[in-house]
Amino acid sequence: GQDAGEVFQQALRLERVDADFSGAIALYTQVGADSTAGRTLRARATLRRGMALESMGRPEAVAVYRELLAVFGDVGEIASAARARLGDLTEVEEEVGREGRERLSLSPSWQDWGIEYAYPSPSGRLFVGTNWDQGSLVVEDVATGQQQFIPYDRHKSNQPGHSHGARFSPDESHVAYGHTLRNGVAQVRIHRLENSSDRTLLDVSAYLGSGLHEASAEVWDWSADGAKVLALLSGVDRREGASGRIAQVVALVDVQTGAVGVVVEEERRRVSLSTGCLTDDGNVAVERSGADPGIRIHRVDAGAAYPLPSGARLVGCRKRLRSVVWSTQLMDDTSVLSNEVGPDGPSGSPEILAVLPGRVDVHSVTEEGQLLYTEGSPAGYQIVMVGMNPETGEFNGNVQRLSTGLSDDATLWRVGSWSSDGRLLGLSRQANLAYVGDPSSDLREFRLPTDANLLRGRARWMPDGEHLLTALYGEDIPSGEDVTHVVSLETGAVRTYTGFTAWEPTRDGKEVFHVEWDSPSDGTCVRRMRLEDRRDLLLWCAGVRLWNINLAPSPGGELLAVTHQHEQNGYTVRIMGVDGQENRVLWQSNASASGPTRLYWSGGDQYLYFTAGFPEERAWRMDVETGQVEEVLRDLRAVLDFTGFNISPDGTRVVTRARYRRLAEEKGPFVLRVD
C-alpha cells in the first residue's frame, strides 16, 4: 500500500486544490489511524481533518480537535493550533454533558464513606464500597436503598482489619474484595450475596513470600465469564527502611482454584500501579502513577504492552464492546473517551463519549453505558489550620482552610515544616513545587530549581528562615546517588551535597542529622554531620536493623527525639543529646499497639506531638520528662483524620491534611448515560 506520507500529500491536494473536502477527510482519517506512521504526521493529519470539517461547516470539527488534544497533546505546535481552533469554536458551542444526567440516589452515608470508593455492578443496580469507619464493605440497592454489610456487622468495634477494593461478578451474584488484617496479612476473598457466605480465595502474604510483612490486596475487575478476578497484590518490607524491597503484582486469580496468572510485575519504588480493568479478549488496562505515569494495555497471552495517550485517567472497561474508557482534561473541560482494543492493542482513533464542563472526577462506567462522576473532588483532601490552646491541648474554635488559588493538581498537599518565626513550608502534588509564607495571610509559590521530588523525599526549613533543605535517596532520582540540596529562597541558588541524605538540620544550620543503615556490625546508626567538611559524629547505634525511624531536633537545640519501630514490632521514642552524651528511652509500646512515626516539638522543649492510628485519626502529645501521653484536639476526631499533622513552634496552630467528608449537593454524584 501507499506510504502514509504519500497519502497525506494526496489528501492535501484534494483539500486545497480540488476542494474535495469529503475525499480529503477520508484520507486524513486513514493517516491518523495508521499505527506505522510517525506521531507528528498522524497529529498533522488529524488537525487537517478538523480544518476540512470546519470548511464544510460541520460541528464534528470540535470532536476532532478534542481527539487530537487527547491523543497527540504532546505534539507541540500542532496541539497548540488545535487548542486555539477549539477555543474559537467552543465560545459559541452549546454546553455539553449536563443534559440527560441524573443525580445518583445513594444513602447519605456515602458522603462520609466517600462516593469515589463506590463501584457499580454491571447493570448499575447495585453499588459496593467501604465503610471506612468500620472497615467493612457495604452493598446498596439503588432502587430500594437496602444495604448489606460484608462480612462484619457494622456495630462491631474490634474488627481484625479492613476490607476494600471490591467488585461485582458479571452476574452480580458475588463480590470479590481485598481484606487486610492488622498483622499485615492480606487476602483476596469472595462473598456470595444470596446467603452471605464468605471464603478466602488467596493468601496474598503467602503468595508474595517471606520478607514482605506488610501485604495488601485490591480486586479491580472480573473476567466476562466470571471465572477469574483481576487483582493487585502488593507488599513492602519496611524493616529495610527506605530501601526495603517492594512488590506489586497485577494478577488474574482463578475463582475456583486460586491459581495465579501474573500480568504485570513492578518492583520500582517510584512507580505505583493505581487501578486496572479487564476486557473479555485477554487485554488488561493498568494505570500507573509516580515516575512512570499513564495507562498501558497489556496483552495477557503475549506479554506485550501498548500505551494510551499521556494524561489519560482510567475509568473502566466495557467487556461487551471490548473497549477501554478513559478521561482527560482538555481546555477547561473533561473529555471521556473510549478505545476499542483488539489483539494488537488499541485499534483506530478513540471515540469521544462525553464532554463534561469543568474539572470532573469520572469514577466508573457500567456495561450499560452509565458514567458515574462528580464535579470536583468528592471527598478529597485539603490543608486546614486549626487553632489550639497550648496549655490544655484543646480546640479553640478557629479553623482556616488554606489554599493557594491554583489548579487542583498544584494545590497544597501536605506540610513540610514550620520556620522558627511561624512561616509554613507546604508541598504540592507537583514534584518540585513548594509554598512558603505565613499561612494566616499568604502562601507564595516557590519552584525548586532541582530534580528533587518533594513528595518522595524530605523538605525542611533551614534555621535561618532563608533557605530550604531537601534530601532524597538515590533510588528516587535519575542520578541514582543520595543527595542533599540547600536552596536559597531569595536567589534560587542551590548547594548540593552528594553521598548522604540529610534528615534534619541542627539549630545553627551548619550540621545535619542523618541515619545510616547497615553500618559495619552496628545495624542502624544516627549521626551528625558538618556540611562544610563532612566531619561525622556518631550519636548512637542500635546494633540491629530498625525501621520507620524519624528524627526531631528540639527547638532549644540540645536534644534530639528519635522514634522507630523496634525489633519486637512495637514503637519506641528515644531522647538523646545532640552531643551523644544523653540517651534514654522515653516511651515504648507493645508489639500490637500503634505508635508515632513522626514527632514534632512545640512549647519549647516540653512536649512532643504526634499522631497514631489507622487512619491517623487521633493526635497526642508526650511530656519529654515523664513520658506521659495525653490526647489533644479531641473535639475534632469526627472531622479530621490528622494525616500530615504538623504544629507551629508556639503550639497555637496545627496544620494538617484533612479529609473533607461532606460533598456539596450541587457537586453530585451524577450518572450520565453515554449510549
Right CATH for 381-659 from 2.120.10.30, 2.120.10.70, 2.130.10.10, 3.40.50.880: 2.120.10.30
Res 259 pLDDT > 90: yes
pLDDT at 153 over 80: no
Q: What is the pLDDT of residue 614?
A: 42
Q: What is the mean pLDDT of residues 240-247?
A: 60
- pLDDT at residue 664 above 70? no
Per-residue pLDDT tens over the stretch 336-381: 889 898 888 887 778 888 888 777 888 899 988 889 888 754 444 5
Does residue 654 register a pLDDT over 80? yes
Fold match between 4-90 and 102-379+664-673?
no
CATH architecture of 102-379+664-673: 6 Propeller (2.120)
Phi–psi pair at 80, nearest 5 degrees: -65, -40
For 395-415, letters b (16+ CB in 10 Å) and e give beeeeeebebeeeeeebbbbb
pLDDT at 160: 57
Q: pLDDT tens-digit profile of 413-453?
A: 667 788 888 888 887 766 677 888 887 766 777 877 766 56
**What pLDDT does residue 162 have?**
78
pLDDT of residue 418: 87
Q: What is the dihedral of CA 381, 387, 391, 392, to 10 degrees?
A: -60
Instruction: Report the pLDDT averaged over residues 151-163.
Output: 54
Distance between alpha carbon 285 and the CA centroid of its chain, in Å? 18
DSSP class of residue 667 equals G
**Mean pLDDT score of the chain, rounded to an integer?**
80
Which residues are within 8 A (CB) of 136 and not within 5 positions of it... i.e. 6 or more apart?
A: 130, 149, 150, 151, 152, 153, 154, 159, 162, 163
Say how far apart CA 400 and CA 443 lie, in whole Å.
13
Q: What is the mean pLDDT of residues 644-668?
A: 69
Summarize the confidence of residues 251-272 as an average pLDDT.
88
Residue 671 has pLDDT above 70, yes or no: yes
Between residues 136 and 111, which one has the greater pLDDT? Answer: 136
Mean pLDDT (whole number) for 511-540? 83
Instruction: Annotate 106-161 with DSSP letters as a single string.
Output: --THHHHH-GGG-EE-TTSSEEEEEETTTTEEEEEETTT--EEEESS-TT-S--SS
- Assigned architecture for domain 4-90: Alpha Horseshoe (1.25)
Q: What angle, 0 to 180 degrees and rounded to 10, lies between the N-to-C axes of helices 39-55 and 21-32?
A: 160
Please indicate whether residue 244 or residue 441 has the higher confidence score (pLDDT): 441
Contacts of 454 (CB under 8 A, 6+ apart): 416, 427, 428, 431, 432, 433, 434, 448, 470
Q: How confident is the model at residue 156 (pLDDT cuts 50, 70, 90)?
A: very low
pLDDT at 1: 58
Collapsing DSSP states into helix, strand and coil, what is residue 18?
coil
| Alpha-carbon gap, residue 318 to 323, rounded angstroms | 5
Q: What is the structure's pLDDT at 102?
A: 80
Tens digit of each residue's pLDDT (9 = 90 or more) over 265-276? 888 766 788 899
Predicted confidence band of residue 501 (pLDDT cuts 50, 70, 90):
confident
Give me the residue label for grid cell 488559588.
405
Residue 408, pLDDT score: 43
Is the model's pLDDT at 93 over the cut of 60?
no
Q: Cell 497514631 belongs to which residue?
A: 612
- Domain positions in the chain: 4-90, 102-379+664-673, 381-659
The band of 232, judged by pLDDT with boundaries at 50, 70 and 90, is: very high
**Least trusted range by pLDDT, from 211-225, 296-310, 605-619, 646-660:** 605-619
Question: Cell numbers of 191, please?
Answer: 462473598
For residue range 108-131, list pLDDT tens digits in order. 777 666 666 789 999 889 999 887
Distance (Å, rounded) from C-alpha 283 to C-alpha 454? 35
What the block records as the C-alpha cell of 214 is 506488610
User: Quick one: CA dihedral 646, 647, 653, 654, positive or negative?
Assistant: positive
What local confidence, expressed as pLDDT, does residue 593 receive?
58
Handedness of CA 479, 480, 484, 489 (dihedral sign): positive
Q: With bands split at pLDDT 50, 70 and 90, how would you rate the model's confidence at 58? A: confident
Question: Which residue did the predictor score with more confidence, 636 or 594?
Answer: 636
List phi, psi (to 5°) of 49: -60, -45
pLDDT reported for residue 200: 93
> Cα–Cα distance between 394 and 118 in angstroms, integer?
35
595-637 tens-digit pLDDT: 787 888 887 788 999 887 544 467 889 999 998 888 888 767 6
